[in-house]
A and B are shown apart, each in its own frame.
Chain A
Amino acid sequence: MQPQSLQLSGIRKGFGADDVLKEIDLSVRPGEFLSLVGMSGCGKSTLLRIMAGLETPDSGTVSIGSRDVTNVDPSDRDLAMVFQSYALYPHMSVRQNIATPLRMRNLSLGARLPLIGRMTAKASVLSKIDAAVNEAADVLQIGHLLDRKPAQLSGGQRQRVALARALVRSPAAFLMDEPLSNLDAKLRAHMREELSGLHRRLGATFIYVTHDQIEAMTMSDRIALMSSGRIEQLGTPDELYQQPATVTVARFIGTPSINLLPVEIDASGRVMALGRPLGVSVPARYAGPAMLGIRAEDLRPAAGGFAVKVLRSETYGADRYVTGHLADDQAVCIVMRQAAGDPIAVNGEGLSHLVFPEQRAHLFGADGNRIETTVPARIAI
């Protein structure tokens, strides 16, 4: 099966009074790894379940390839899904679990019955299923677990069985709903690599839901960042990091979180930060309060910078995070990332002066949207 594209257009969904999805358009390219990322409760799972056909949208259409599947039963959409809980059938062995998608599709009802089935099923079909199960198990290195029950497996092994059950029948696309969230941190990092590897090897379309931006950043070709039922930005991990379209995106992506300073845009389009003009200008129509976003790694200590009261510093091997707040405004928290060897440069009052390259600062209007800035000349604040 060729990897398929998947399109959503105008998808709306509400549960009772709350609108969970508001007019979602999304086009997933064939063979890409697309992550849906966002805070818990923003509607990612709902969107994925609409793709799978487990929920019906209030309006809008879902199509796979060129086929409109909006009203097609999940069993006929040719999608595979990996659930957060893995949803393995506890009464079946691993082998039977993996074989189920093939048995349901290739055997008649009579042939699936527990005892008589064995006799009535065509031997050729059965041996094909067996071969496919073994192959899927080999890909995920669970060949030695095939005769166990899910209860006898560890979390990571169950995860692999769930993946094997999904990939045993090369579906049009793989849907995964937070598949790694039940694993411990170390295993999660390992499975991230494996999933990326699997995606490269299969070349299949992966649609991956997570609330963990690191998972999304490390594995995806593209990321759709969702917030309260909308897609805030769709783009490559780099685009989301370098050019966040909204303040929500800027806040969500990156560790530590981006520093956000309140600024004022005056009538002539100058950006006033901390009482002084910033060396960038914007169209005058943006006049009013705004937000300035600065990544922690863009800050560095230098004379003449803005004053920050340093509260603590934490060293993570090569990096050091220096945390404090603005000397003038305790409510604004500032984090700076520097190499662990660099001096912290704190004066006697515990103040440090920081500067940043202005073309790397992100400006967001009062509505949260990005404002493109122009840099006429290089001036430090």
Chain B
Amino acid sequence: MVLLRKYLPHLVLALGAIPMLLPFYWMLLTSFRSPAEIFDVSLWPIPKNFDAVENYARAAGQVPMARFMLNGVIVCLGILIAQVLTAVPAAYALAKLRFPARKLMLSLVIAALCIPMQALALPLYVGLAKTDLLNTYFAMMSPFFLSVFAIFLFHQSFRSYPDEIIEAARIDGFSEMEICWGLVLRGSLPSLAAFAVFSLVAHWNDLYWPMIVVTDTNLAPPPLGMLFFSDVESGANYGALMAGATIITAPMVVCFLFARKHFIAGLTMTGVK
């Protein structure tokens, strides 16, 4: 009885964890299995025939899986770099410099925080269509070049940087650029790391916008690629389908397992809003 009381929380958590982890287990297991085994539905962890090679080869052969991953990397990194390049100086200016329309810009940033990307998709799509930019990396990335969330976050974090150090640095002859990137940003590296995780994960997993602007298979990022792939397979070969899902899910999951703290901080960062 005492033992039960002590282990009851563990028991409940373990029961709850089964549905949480079942999809991952099933995905991996199926990606190793041969078609015959898939059809007799068993939870037994060791596949009788180890068909991993065939399944993964099929996933990579049917659709350009490597290409999807590369697209994902290009788009995510491109977005992240542009976001940091634009948001850091803006946040620094808003937090530490006095200039006309500063208040107005800050209000606009906060107002823009409430507007989800999906609400802007339509006019942006029309604009890109009119300028013949659909089906380009630029189309996939440009709406995210500005992250109002990044400005807001860095602004919060920069504001607490001591003014005295900035003034001392100005007297020592540092340029404003050096102060912004070399001093102030260095004091906010945890915010930068958290934002990087947040941005990378969000755009790696995003389906909505790529689905709108990309129809070319060669430009598809992983989620859209996954959709194409399941269309091609249309339910016939689950082994290959799960192999594809594994390939797409793996980068983020592996990074998460290695940098658990950073991931949790980054993904729940929206909590500071």
- Asked whether the complex places CB atoms of A and B closer than 8 A, the reply is no
A residues at B contact (CB < 8 Å): none
B residues at A contact (CB < 8 Å): none
